Amino acid sequence: MDFGRSDRWRLPTAIKILIAGGFGAGKTTMVTAVSETRPLRTEEILTQIGQHIDDLAGIEGKPTTTVAFDFGRITISGDYMLYLFGTPGQERFWFVWDDLNMGALGAVVLADTRRLADCFPAIDYFEQRDTPFVVALNCFDGAREFTVGEVRQALNLEAEIPIVMTDARRRDSGREVLITLVEHAMRRGATPVGTMS
């Protein structure tokens, strides 16, 4: 049997995607929810010592924080295997973003509407590097609801950048966000970074 030519044995295209956004926006939750394997998480417990560094307004119940990155994997339609890298949200950990962004097809900027301004640094980062991205509004229980138009205006986003509603806790919701990102990146002419076949 010729394993190199058989469609049956064709491996999916590997695509690297970043999940970025502000502190407490739900990045770890999304990677954990959508990953088909047990995710790698680099979380540490928030302590009283860090209270003067980390602004917990609006997310007072958050017990941990990502200090390096989260990693998960999901296969889309058997054709694409997405490798997900959740970035740390606090400014003091942004130095790892350049390494994580290297070779990425694009990024999801997860936005918490309770703290919308927290996603500006991620948007600026990807705009400056011409990295395709989508904005996913994480719908937290009890948070004020905004229209896509209101968010687009508040974030000063171009019309071609997709903004989608999501619930980072739900696998199907996160999966739809990832599909939207891959489609957006391909429309922009980006190509998957590594073909494994």
Helices 171-187, 27-34: crossing angle, 10 deg rounding: 100
- Please, is 61 exposed, middle or buried when counting C-beta atoms within 10 Å of its C-beta (0-12, 13-18, 19+)? exposed
**pLDDT for res 188:** 87
Nearest-angstrom CA–CA distance, 40 and 42: 7
Cα–chain center distance at 70: 10
Residues 6 or more apart in contact with residue 37 via CB below 8 angstroms = 72, 73
Confidence of residue 145 (pLDDT cuts 50, 70, 90): confident
Contact 188, 130 (CB under 8 A): no
High-pLDDT (> 90) share of the chain, %:
37
Give the torsion sign (CA, 130, 132, 137, 138). Answer: negative
Point out which residues pair with 66 in neighbouring strands: 43
Contact 73, 150 (CB under 8 A): no
Which of the residue ranges 69-83, 92-106, 143-157, 158-172 has the most confident prediction, judged by mean pLDDT?
A: 158-172
Confidence of residue 193 (pLDDT cuts 50, 70, 90): very low
Q: For the chain, what is the total number of helices (H) and then of strands (E)?
A: 5, 8
At 31, list the tokens: 């990677």
Q: Give per-residue pLDDT as tens, 161-190.
A: 999 999 999 999 999 999 999 999 999 887
Residues 6 or more apart in contact with residue 191 via CB below 8 angstroms = 105
SS3 content of the chain, % helix, strand, coil (to 5): 35, 25, 40
- 15-187 to CATH, choices 3.40.630.30, 3.40.1110.10, 3.40.50.300, 3.30.70.2190: 3.40.50.300
Q: Give per-residue pLDDT as tens, 1-20.
A: 344 555 556 667 889 999 99
